[in-house]
């Protein structure tokens, strides 16, 4: 299987399952016409032309534990990764406990929970 790529899903047919305009990890099928989305949900097939490939992977992955810089006592889980088209950068949604925060967090706003633990922050 070819290596995984990151991109923004622009297939409106995926709106109902929450993938439309979401950053996805995917791989192309052998013919190169279809993409198989592997994250945040698995085994969804869309036309590869409906995914805008991104040159770099996101700083944080789905399911990764993170901490907002301004609330070091609060840990959350990355549940959404999106692309800000105007700023050309990733932004994230995190879940703290049972609630998904409404704030958009950019890469500079978060640190990895493991990094925080290593540094004793």
Which DSSP symbol is given to 4? P
Cα(109)–Cα(7) distance, integer angstroms: 22
Residue 28's pLDDT is what? 87
Quote the mean pLDDT of the chain. 91
Could you tell me which residues are beta bridge partners of residue 8?
A: 23, 52
If you search the block for the tokens 């088209």, which residue do you land on? Answer: 85
Question: Taking residues 85-90, what's their average pLDDT?
Answer: 96
1 pLDDT exceeds 70?
A: no
Residue 29's pLDDT is what? 81
Pairing mode, strands 23-28 and 5-9: antiparallel
Residue 34's pLDDT is what? 93
Residue 121's pLDDT is what? 55
* pTM of the entire predicted model: 0.88
**45 and 13 Cβ atoms separated by less than 8 Å:** no
47 pLDDT exceeds 50?
A: yes
If you search the block for the tokens 């105007």, which residue do you land on? Answer: 86
């Amino acid at each position: 299987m070819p290596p995984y790529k990151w991109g923004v899903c622009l297939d409106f047919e995926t709106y109902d399952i929450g993938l439309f305009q979401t950053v996805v990890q995917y791989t192309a099928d052998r013919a190169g016409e279809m993409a198989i989305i592997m994250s945040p949900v698995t085994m969804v097939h869309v036309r590869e032309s409906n995914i805008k490939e991104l040159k770099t992977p996101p700083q944080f992955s789905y399911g990764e534990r993170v901490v907002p810089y301004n609330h070091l006592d609060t840990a959350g889980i990355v549940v959404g990764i999106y692309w800000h088209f105007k700023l050309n950068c990733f932004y994230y949604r995190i879940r703290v406990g049972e609630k998904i925060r409404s704030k958009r967090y950019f890469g500079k706003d978060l640190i990895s929970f493991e990094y925080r633990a290593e540094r004793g922050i």
